[in-house]
């Protein structure tokens, strides 16, 4: 099936980035959010990136106008009825995602592909509420989407080979390099990255070093572009906690157990860069 129209649900950090690269690749994109304010914010993030790129001379005003013509926001999911591919990038919560997939089952056309950008949750649990398990897949982009080259294509035990190939080609068409992973919590990258970030928090909790020194250590000692605390603020403390909980649920090993400080920060409403409160942004004495 040729993919022409792509519906994206959730216009936060990830959904807006996915919308940007998908519209740039020439697909017609519909972006959905929970209310007008968040939809406007998500759309502004996408169009703001094109304004920034135009201002820097990286794209022409004509290109930016062309991209804008490929994206539209809507609050009405019923408009997704003629999408060939629907990608959800809503909060990392299995109940919310399952509710959404159940809704999509009643809206999406029979042969539409349904994808989740989940960081850690089992794809099969979302597929199970549909009658098209073979066409449900994980399509895991990385943050920031326009700059990170990887997409993990997640095969559930029910995903068909044809679906894998269609989504692998889609990832390539939006400028990414796909890798294929099985439907196990954390897939490839987060299975390695999340325990690393959790270990950094434990190291800080235990007073082994300041967060600044831990970050400097990993940047200068290992050549990482960001230290773990900068990355936690960037990824979102909420998303990291939910992903850690999902991985720990499947692998109850202490390495995946969310540290108390991470829980407390999320309980305090400190989500990182996205709401201006985190380890560095808007920090007091955490």
Residues forming contacts to ligand NAD in the complex (CB under 6 A) are 9-15, 32-34, 38, 89-92, 96, 100, 117-119, 140-143, 235-236, 239, 243, 274
Binding of ligand CAA by 24 (CB under 6 A):
no
CA separation for the pair 159, 137 (Å, rounded): 6
Name which of ligand NAD, ligand CAA, none residue 90 binds, using a CB cut-off of 5 to 8 Å depending on partner kind.
ligand NAD
Let me know if 16 is a catalytic residue.
no
- The catalytic residue among 140, 156, 166, 245 is 140
Q: Does 198 bind ligand CAA (CB under 6 A)?
A: no
Query: Residue-wise over 156-180: b if at least 16 C-beta within 10 A, else e?
Result: bebbeeebbebbbebbeebebebbe
Is residue 190 part of the annotated active site? The answer reads: yes
CB of 138 to ligand CAA, least distance (A): 11
Q: Is 119 one of the annotated active-site residues of the chain?
A: yes
Q: Is 156 a catalytic residue?
A: no
Binding mask 213-252 for ligand CAA (x = CB under 6 A): ------------xx----x---x---x-------------
Residue 147 binds ligand CAA, judged by CB under 6 A: yes
Strand partners, 71: 29
Which partner in ligand NAD, ligand CAA, none is near 56 (CB below 5 to 8 A by kind)? ligand CAA
- Specify the residue, 64 or 242, whose C-beta has the smaller distance to ligand NAD: 242
Question: Shortest Cβ distance from residue 166 to ligand CAA (Å)?
Answer: 22
Residues 243 and 92 sit within 8 Å (Cβ to Cβ): yes
Query: 103-142: which residues touch ligand CAA (CB under 6 A)?
Result: 119, 142
Strand pairing category for 150-155 and 136-141: antiparallel
Interface with ligand CAA includes 153 (CB under 6 A)? Answer: no
Residues in contact with ligand CAA by CB under 6 A are 20, 49, 53, 56, 119, 142-144, 146-148, 190, 193, 225-226, 231, 235, 239
**Residues marked as catalytic:** 119, 140, 152, 190
């Amino acid at each position: 099936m040729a993919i022409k129209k792509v519906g994206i649900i959730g216009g936060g950090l990830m959904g807006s980035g996915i919308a940007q690269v998908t519209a740039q690749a020439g697909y017609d994109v519909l972006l959905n959010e929970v209310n007008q304010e968040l939809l406007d914010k998500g759309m502004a993030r996408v169009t703001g990136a094109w304004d920034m790129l135009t201002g820097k001379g990286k794209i022409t005003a004509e290109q930016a106008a062309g991209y804008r013509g490929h994206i539209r926001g809507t609050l009405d999911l019923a408009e997704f009825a003629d999408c060939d591919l629907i990608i959800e990038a809503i909060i990392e919560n299995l109940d919310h995602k399952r509710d959404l997939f159940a809704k999509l089952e009643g809206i999406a056309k029979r042969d539409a592909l349904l994808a989740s950008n989940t960081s850690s949750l089992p794809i099969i649990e979302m597929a199970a509420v549909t009658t098209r398990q073979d066409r449900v897949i994980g399509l895991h982009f990385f943050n920031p989407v326009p700059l990170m080259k990887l997409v993990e294509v997640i095969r559930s035990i029910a995903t068909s080979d044809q679906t894998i190939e269609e989504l692998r080609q889609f990832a390539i068409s939006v400028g990414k390099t796909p890798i294929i992973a099985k439907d196990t919590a954390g897939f490839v990258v987060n299975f390695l990255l999340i325990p690393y970030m959790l270990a950094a928090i434990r190291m800080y909790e235990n007073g082994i070093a300041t967060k600044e020194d831990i970050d400097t250590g990993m940047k200068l000692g290992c050549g990482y572009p960001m230290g773990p605390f900068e990355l936690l603020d960037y990824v979102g403390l909420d998303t990291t906690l939910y992903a850690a909980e999902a991985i720990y649920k499947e692998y109850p090993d202490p390495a995946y157990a969310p540290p108390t400080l991470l829980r407390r920060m999320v309980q305090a409403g400190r989500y990182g860069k996205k709401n201006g409160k985190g380890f560095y942004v808007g920090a007091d004495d955490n």
